[in-house]
């Protein structure tokens, strides 16, 4: 089993046609499939924001999947920032728009 030292935190902002196309549900499914914790939400500026924690390899996989998105989405830009693992979350959830 991986140790928390192998874990990290990803903070991503996804731009394009990413609201009203199932992007949050897609991200929720992908993150849970990868065993990650954190959240996804729509932002008032039309982007989608994701904070996820877990094994670095799984987070890198999620970042690749965010660049694709669900079939109805058109992703134009993904900004990813990395931070140390904090162990803040117990599950992956959808949050209210912020």
Tell me, yes or no, whether 70 lies in a domain. Answer: yes
User: CATH code at 78?
Assistant: 3.30.70.100
Total domains in the fold of the chain: 1
Q: Is residue 44 part of a domain?
A: yes
Q: Is residue 93 part of a domain?
A: no
pLDDT value of position 14: 99
Query: Is position 16 within any domain?
Result: yes
Per residue in 17-68, pLDDT tens?
A: 999 999 999 999 999 999 999 999 999 999 999 999 999 999 999 999 999 9
Which residue range is the domain that position 55 belongs to? Answer: 4-85
Phi, psi of 63 (to 5 degrees): -60, -40
42 is catalytic: yes
**pTM to 2 decimal places:** 0.94
Q: Which residue among the candidates 29, 41, 42, 43 is catalytic per the annotation?
A: 42
Q: Does the annotation count 95 as an active-site position?
A: no
User: One of 9, 13, 17, 24 is an active-site residue; which one?
Assistant: 24
């Amino acid at each position: 089993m991986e140790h928390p030292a192998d874990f990290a935190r990803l903070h991503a902002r996804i731009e394009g046609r990413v609201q009203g196309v199932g992007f949050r549900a897609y991200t929720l499914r992908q993150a849970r499939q990868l065993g990650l914790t954190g959240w996804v939400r729509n932002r008032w500026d039309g982007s989608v924001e994701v904070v996820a924690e877990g094994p670095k390899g799984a987070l890198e996989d999620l970042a690749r999947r965010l660049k694709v998105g669900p079939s109805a989405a058109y992703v134009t830009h993904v900004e990813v920032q990395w931070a140390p693992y904090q162990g803040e979350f117990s599950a992956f959830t959808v949050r209210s728009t912020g």
